[in-house]
Chain A
Amino acid sequence: MAEGERTAAEKADFKRELTEVVPHLRAFARGLCGRPDMADDLVQEALLKAWAAQARFEPGTSMRAWTFVILRNAYLTDMRRNRFRGDYDETVAERILTAPAGQEEPIHLSDMHRALLTLPPERREALLLVGAGGFSYEEAAQICGCAVGTIKSRVGRARATLNDMLAEGNIPQRSIDDDTAHRAILEELDEVAAGNGETNKS
């Protein structure tokens, strides 16, 4: 589409908004790919892409949603190039989440993260967007390029899986390192990238 040259003020606004969403991009990326260093590389890549594409950003719309789409696409591309293996972040292992009242054992942040990373990628991103990022189902559906019902289904399934893993302590230790699992994830990513996700699997 033909976009006029942005004024200096508009460029400054874009830059400011882009700067403001960087912490959120880092959090989303960390949830997606686990390793902090790789997540930050991914965010840097997304920032450069967002900057290059700034003429396509509509002022007044959500910068967070717009950049999440860019980040997500960069992640999917990199995953297909086998850059990320879904390794979980060892550095969070020492950090313990606040135990909710009445709970015998606190949930460890590392358990939470590990459980999250064992989810199929399309469910993981849906849960991250809605359950952690605070996006509505509608916004999450737009970011992922799929139907609202699909997002609801993915979030519901992701929650059920995490319920099982975290409440029952059934967290797989090695499944995400397994080559077969990894190939399956890559195949799923192709589906996700094509906007199909798990629609044929339920």
Chain B
Amino acid sequence: MAAEKNSPSEDASASKHAKDKSGEQPEWANGLKQLYDSVVDEPLPDSFKDLLSKLDYDDGPDEASKGDLG
């Protein structure tokens, strides 16, 4: 992430409102992270918990029987 502060694109000046002169992030940059983080922070749907627990069992009877899944 450190690198991006120093690399304004050559055509980033396209917008007069974007605050990217002097290497500052444009207004929406934080929004992009929020968009991503909002999904990261979502509780994991049960379908994923089901899938992950099935992975253990499919892996072979040896590990599966003493698996640490809840």
Contacts and interface: CB of A to CB of B under 8 A. Distances in A.
Interface residues of B, number: 45
A97 interface: yes
- The size bracket of the interface on A is 35 or more
A160 interface: yes
A160 B48 contact: no
A27 to B, nearest CB: 4
B27 A131 contact: no
Interface of B is mostly: helix
A141 B21 CA distance: 26
A51 B53 CA distance: 12
Interface in B1-57: 1, 3-4, 7-12, 14-18, 20, 26-42, 44-45, 47-48, 51-52, 55-56
Contact of A131 (B4, B16, B45, B48): B4
Nearest to A12: B68
Interface string A136-178: 1100000000000000100111011011101110000000000
A192 interface: no
Interface of B: 1, 3-4, 7-12, 14-18, 20, 26-42, 44-45, 47-48, 51-52, 55-56, 58-59, 62-63, 68
- For the complex of A and B, the 5 pairs showing the least CB-CB separation, nearest first, are A156-B9, A132-B36, A27-B39, A167-B17, A163-B15
